[in-house]
Structure 1
Amino acid sequence: MNDGPTAAAELSPDDPLVQPFTGPSPYDDYVRATLLNTLQKPLTEAAVEMGFLVTTQVMELWFTLIAHEWRAAREAFAKDRLPDAMDALLRSRHAAGALNCSWLPIAGLTPAQFNELRPAFGKASGFQSAMYRHLEFLLGEKSAALLRSHHGDPVVYEGLREAYHEPSLYDEVLRFLHRRGLPVPEVVRERDVTTPYTAHQGVVAAWRHVYAAAEPHPLLALAELLTDLAELVTRWRFDHVMVVRRAMGTKGGTAGSAGLHWLEQRATRPVFPELWTVRGDV
């Protein structure tokens, strides 16, 4: 007999929810779940390879979403639409938090486990991720050499080439600050956006107006939200370092990279650097 709460929740054969679909379900048409679930193709017998594939594919999806939100924020700043920019940055902060949690399934790989699946990589490396490169370009980490490395894939290359020549998110933030009356130097506002962004003392001075104001400055929430994002990006980079250090130590990376040493160097590069410097000036 089954007359408890479960029975009450059972669907009748006539319920619309259980009627057969003609072709894929509307859910699958929209989410493309069946397609997503066919994209994992392990190449070894390693028990951990499926987790590695799913983890890296999920990260690529988070990269896509974060890049989308940062582009939306950049466009809103360029049009002086601060509420829209803040909304996009808030959404990206949630996505970046989820991205960082994505390390968990593979964070404890042992060297033996990693060695089992490493032959599947061939010459592949996370270093080659085009969507992560979009994120770095949006942060002002421009590199002509890394752009050229994608030249063999015309579609990917064209998208990155466009991103390379566009202002970064931070470039548009600083131009927005200037239009709001903060003293962002012209040399920063008119800089060559195809070069890596470097810290400028004049930008520190501009942020100091925000942080040292007697009353809470209207742009303090923006400054703190950008700092949140900078911290999340840095934590993701350091978590990457720790995953690699635990799984393979100081061995050279795939595709000829320097592995751990290269990641450690990248992890120490500050994101939105003046927002960290100004804290010591207040």
Structure 2
Amino acid sequence: MGSIAFSEGSSSDIVGERLSRCGQDDLIRGLTAVVTHLHQVVRDVRPSAGQWRAAVDFLTEVGHAADERRQEWVLLSDLLGVTALVEEINSQRPKGATPNTPRGPFYRADAPRLPLGADICLDGKGEPLGVSGQIRDLDGQPIGGATIETWQANPQGFYENQQPDLQPEFNLRGVFQTGADGRFAWRTVKPAGYRVPDDGPVGQLLGRIGYPLRRPAHLHFLVRAAGFDTVTTQVYDPADPDVHEDAIFGVKPELIGDFRPHRDPGGCHLWSLEFDFVLVRTRPGNRRTGDDTTCMQKL
């Protein structure tokens, strides 16, 4: 007696009150916010019962398309800008520091450790690219002993773990450690941009409405150093035609690389990229940034 009847106007309040009786931790507060906004979306869109079942069927298909090699939920988060928004909220840094971008689904924590100067292209296919730079702090001081991981697509726009039968194991990925001068260098090949997977429910839905689904050419980096915030980021090729409309909203002015063409003594065409990473010292009580096991993973 005396309880509010469930109705269109009271629905989120009633569910929210029921959740509040379970406690007040972060999970419950998050669920309450989701309920509030989801119920408002339903009130705004006013789907029929059939349309709502179709939406549930779509989400079911997304779940079925998620496995250890492919994460369709993460693709949905990425393409709707949610992943980028989470990064913005959790990795705010002062001017001059290297910004974060989404890690993507193709990261592998078991990539091999390699000596500086190694070649991470294991099949010899593509235009040679020399990558070098320095890891330093905001005062310009080098950070020795920092770890830098890299992974990238090949010249056809595919990562090694997308093509386990076509590319060598660990192709175009490696882990390096800087010397006392904070510098790093390795050899690779110039990556290509690509269309995000569109053979699953997310790509099919967004492709049907003409939503942008291409990513510009880029290299992934994950930089760690004791006492500093971890940086997970990407460096982009400014010559790629899709650099101004990245499907996952990762491109920032600070992350545009300078890919320079050269010719070796034999006349062969090659490229170089020099890029410095600027890290911020971790402050007590700061959220972890860029080093959490991310649930935001395509590209």
More strand by share: 2
Q: TM-score, normalised by structure 1?
A: 0.28
Tell which has more relative contact order, 1 or 2 (C-alpha 8 A, sep 6+). Answer: 2
